[in-house]
Amino acid sequence: QIEMYEEGLIDFSKVKTFNLDEYYKLPIYNDQSYHYFMDENLFNHIKKNRENIYIPNGMSDDIEAECVSYDQLIDNNGGIDIQVLGIGNNAHIGFNEPTINFKKGTHIVTLDESTRQA
């Protein structure tokens, strides 16, 4: 929606974003990371407050604690009003593979090979 932003139809300056996912142990500067993707495809093109951009820290040494912390961060900011999800070729939703039991809250999953290759 960069075009709508450029036309003055959308103001992102007060929007808080919480990314749905990030790859585990992939540095944020890697062109496959969601930090990189979001910067290149949205954040670098709009006026925003960097303090309102949240993406899970996939480089955390304690990933379980990072998941709990991310959930608390979402709760402390009033929850999620709108969620944009991707549906993969194998019908995964937001990287929740169809073969796993869906867990509430932030969690780590092992991606199917077909998802990794997509």
Catalytic residue annotation: 21, 90, 92, 97
Q: SS3 of 54, please?
A: strand
Give the amino acid at 107: H
Cα distance between the two ends of the chain? 24
8 Å CB contact between 70 and 106: yes
| Burial of residue 55 (number of CB atoms within 10 Å: 0-12, 13-18, 19+) | buried
DSSP state of 99: T
